[in-house]
Amino acid sequence: MQNTENNSTLISRDEIESRVISVLEEMTADWDMDFSGGINSQTRLMEDLAFESIDVVQLVVSLEKNFARKDIPFEKLFMQEGDYVDDLLVTEVIDFLHKHLNNRS
Amino acid sequence: MPEIVIDNVLLHYQCFGEGEDLVLIHGLAANLAFWYPGIASMLAQKYRVITYDLRGHGKSGMPVSGYSMGHMEHDLQGLLNHLGITRAHIVGHSFGARIAVHYAVSHPQQVATLTIADTQFRCLQPKMRLGDWLYWQSWKEQLLQHGVALPSDDEFISFKLLLEFDRIFNELTQKGIATKPSKLSLKNRDLGRKGAANWQKLMDTTTAKQEFDEGEEMTQEDIKKISMPTLAFYGEYSHCMPSCWKFKESIENCQVAVMPEVGHFHPVVKPELFVETLGQFLQAHPFNLGNFSSARSNNRVRPES
């Protein structure tokens, strides 16, 4: 896996999508899942991939490593209105990263 | 994922953020995801948050035996040594709080502040019968409506019983015939299918059950020795509340926070409120660098993530 060496470079949504999906594919490669058909932007983490909270930890750590950034506020992705979200689409993860990787707010 | 080996047991841990060191210890049948992403991420904005999977939990190793409180303390000490941490804020939930209290008694110099999130100690409160639990009647009515076989009112409340309730509610919720009452939530998001299977394996294939159930050697006199700033942080509906007031009575420098309308698993039910309350307590008690000018030893490592 490649890392982004230069954080000031804008990163395209397509690039993020392909990297998020490859992180998820690598993570779930040896999982015993009912889900089949390949991971795409409409895949749901909990419903389709049977993600549990410990898998969320691994996903976040893998994404931080892949994008060489440790300052992304992932709690804003996984929590809304003071509680944990029930599920997330892969596309929501991509949108979130697209916003935060290119916008240093 | 970062890990270390202590006495031939692999321990999986994670560090987030920068600042004073803050250790979060989860309870039985959970894993470090009890604290992450919500609580640990928010705290990591001001602290270096260290959290780990207890042996037999999460992605840590599961030896056939070695689950005593002594082993648990030794793991924590090994992790802190590995990270070069000589002083930290220690926060534990449930069984994790029990480890934190033991650690504060045996390693007082290393514990800058102690946060006891919802645990009970036998030396502080007798086992409670279900029938004596303030909120049992309303639970009971709901469960009876759905034909759930109920334990007797004389059964003692245990962690295992709470997990069983949680499982029942999850099943009913999935069938669409019940919604967990938010006021009496026992929501514990760490016992998914894999988590539950891991817990079952721990119970079935190791001596953990006997070792967890073995008598504590801690007395109220030991608890009275705790002198660092302490926060007893409980859920209003928790069966552990009697211990909360006993901690307040026994520890000279102890504040109490009671989270309204939640029970034993209050940190995951109201994570933002948990962080806000804990943050206020921690801010009031920063490391006393006057006495600990070198709060971290020179061999401190930067763990890989």
Instruction: Note the pLDDT tens digit of each residue in B47-80.
Output: 999 999 999 999 999 999 999 999 999 999 999 9
Q: Which are the contacts of B304, defined by CB distance < 8 A and separation ≥ 6?
A: B2
**Residue B98 backbone phi and psi in degrees, to 5:** -65, -45
pLDDT at B286 over 90: yes
Question: Higher pLDDT residue, A57 or B22?
Answer: B22
Sign of torsion over alpha carbons B265, B127, B134, B177? positive
Check if B243 contacts A (Cβ < 8 Å). Answer: no
With a pLDDT cut of 90, the percent of chain B lying above it is 55
Mean pLDDT of A87-98: 95
Closest Cα in chain B, distance from residue A47 (Å)? 12
Distance CA B282, CA B293 (A): 19
Closest Cα in chain A, distance from residue B304 (Å)? 10
Task: Say if CB B119 and CB B98 are below 8 A apart.
Answer: yes
pLDDT score recorded for residue B254: 98
The pair of three-digit structure tokens given for residue B7, joined into one six-digit string? 């006495």
Query: Which DSSP symbol is given to B20?
Result: E
- When pLDDT is cut at 50, 70 and 90, the band that residue A7 belongs to is low
Choice among A62-71, A81-90, B26-35 with the minimum mean pLDDT: A81-90
Chain A positions with Cβ closer than 8 Å to B: 50, 52-54, 56-58, 60-61, 64-65, 70, 73-75, 77-79, 82-84
- When pLDDT is cut at 50, 70 and 90, the band that residue B171 belongs to is low
Task: Say if CB B53 and CB B95 are below 8 A apart.
Answer: no
- When pLDDT is cut at 50, 70 and 90, the band that residue B170 belongs to is low
Q: Against a cut of 0.85, is the pTM above it?
A: no
pLDDT at A2 over 70: no
Residues B106-146 have pLDDT tens digits of 999 999 999 999 999 989 988 778 787 777 777 677 777 77
Q: Which residues of B touch A82 (CB under 8 A)?
A: 270-273
Which neighbouring-strand residues pair with B234?
Answer: B258
pLDDT at A1 over 60: no
Question: Higher pLDDT residue, A6 or A45?
Answer: A45
Q: Which residues of A touch B196 (CB under 8 A)?
A: none
Closest Cα in chain B, distance from residue A60 (Å)? 8
pLDDT score recorded for residue B262: 85
pLDDT at B38 over 90: no
Question: Higher pLDDT residue, B187 or A87?
Answer: A87
User: Could A52 and B1 be called an inter-chain contact, meaning their C-beta atoms sit closer than 8 Å?
Assistant: no
Indicate the SS3 state at residue B115.
strand
pLDDT at A34 over 60: yes
pLDDT at B283 over 50: yes
Check if B260 contacts A (Cβ < 8 Å). Answer: no
pLDDT averaged over every residue in chain B: 84
Distance CA B29, CA B303 (A): 26
Choice among A33-47, B49-63, B169-183 with the minimum mean pLDDT: B169-183
pLDDT score recorded for residue B297: 44
Task: Say if CB A9 and CB A91 are below 8 A apart.
Answer: no
User: What is the residue whose two structure tokens read 């270390």?
Assistant: B4
Highest mean pLDDT among A75-84, B19-28, B138-147, B161-170: B19-28
The pair of three-digit structure tokens given for residue B94, joined into one six-digit string? 């449930």
Closest Cα in chain A, distance from residue B37 (Å)? 5
Highest mean pLDDT among B24-33, B125-134, B178-187, B296-305: B24-33
pLDDT score recorded for residue B189: 45
pLDDT score recorded for residue B155: 79
- When pLDDT is cut at 50, 70 and 90, the band that residue B179 belongs to is very low
Nearest to A42 by CA among A15, A21, A12: A21
Mean pLDDT of B228-248: 94
Q: How many CB atoms lie within 10 A of CB A47?
A: 13
pLDDT at B187 over 80: no
